[in-house]
A and B are shown apart, each in its own frame.
Chain A
Amino acid sequence: MKSAPLTVLFTHGNLAGALKSVTKNLGVAAENFYSFSNQEKSIKDIETEILELIKDKSPENIMIFVDLTGGSCWISAARLKKENDQIEIMGGVNIPMLVSYFMNVQRMDWQFLLEKVSADAKKGIARL
């Protein structure tokens, strides 16, 4: 089995914690999964903690999910990615995105996974 990538949720308000909690409550196996909220900590502190996690875990792949593309969490994650090619960022995080990610992360090639997660997140937005 591949080692689990480092997965970070980085959002406004307390959304990251809530998304993490809901994802886990759905029974999805989520390893190396961390949430950061800009309500609890400054952006700079979060950046530092993510860098420490990367240093500590030395993961092959790193995923940062953010809520608002173009928001301050996105900008901050983009600055981290600039210094670290392993980082992938996905904006517009939702529950279908997280579920798809954790259901497929251990069985799919990283690049295929990114495409699938993005497609599943879009599929999860529906009108009835």
Chain B
Amino acid sequence: MNIQLFRIDDRLIHGQVVIGWAGYLNTRKIILCDDEVVKNEWEIDLYLSIVPDHIQTLILNTKKTAEYLKDEQADLSRTIVLVNSPQVLEELLELGVKPAKVNLGGLHFQEGREKYLPYLYLAPEEIETLKRMMERGIRFECLDVPQGKNTALEKLLNKKN
């Protein structure tokens, strides 16, 4: 699967994605995968309003995202895929999506989450989900912006424990 960036970020589309990553990678398509956003026209309009005109944006639910990513006819070159949690990524995996590498770009403070990096807070159940996916061969890299310091999740978890 030749995706430019497969990213977990609880803010989905925002400045770091549109300015940082899409600019750096010369992205032409963003796929926002979220079962809630897709049902909310106001949220859809909000996200669409912040993406520059030269980037196509698809807002799809998990099932449609999986179908799209598995479609051999779909042009996935210069594409960023965004999900807001490890759980959504695991659902995509269950539906047959196989990203080799996933960017952990932003999971922010919430009750029950512990700090790993300034932009990465994880709850115990999220760590378990990530570990299950690592066992399936998914490589996770922690990196908020392209110019940041890239840290392998495995290393981060080992260091913490």
Contacts and interface: CB of A to CB of B under 8 A. Distances in A.
Interface of A: 12, 42-45, 68-72, 74-75, 78, 82
B42 to A, nearest CB: 6
Contacts of B1: none
Given A70-B18, A70-B49, A82-B42, A75 B109 contact: no
A6 to B, nearest CB: 23
Contacts of A45: 109
A89 B82 CA distance: 26
A42 B108 contact: yes
B110 A75 contact: no
A27 B22 CA distance: 41
Given A43-B11, A70-B15, A75 B108 contact: no
Contacts of B18: 70
Chain A binding surface SS class: helix
Please give me the 4 A-B residue pairs with the lowest Cβ-Cβ distance, nearest first.
A70-B50, A71-B15, A42-B109, A72-B14
Interface residues of B, number: 14
Contacts of A74: 50
Contacts of B108: 42-44
B100 interface: no
22 contacts: A42-B108, A42-B109, A42-B110, A43-B11, A44-B108, A68-B19, A69-B50, A70-B14, A70-B15, A70-B18, A70-B49, A70-B50, A70-B51, A71-B14, A71-B15, A71-B50, A72-B11, A72-B14, A72-B15, A72-B16, A75-B11, A82-B42
Interface in B108-138: 108-110
A86 B104 CA distance: 36
Nearest to B47: A75
Contacts of A42: 108-110
B46 interface: yes
A42 B108 CA distance: 7
Contacts of A75: 11, 14, 46, 50
Contacts, number: 33
Nearest to A70: B50
Nearest to A44: B110
Contacts of B42: 82
A82 B46 CA distance: 11
A68 B15 contact: yes
B110 to A, nearest CB: 7
A12 B15 contact: yes
Contacts of B14: 70-72, 75
A78 B14 CA distance: 13
B8 to A, nearest CB: 15
B15 A78 contact: no
Contacts of B46: 75, 78
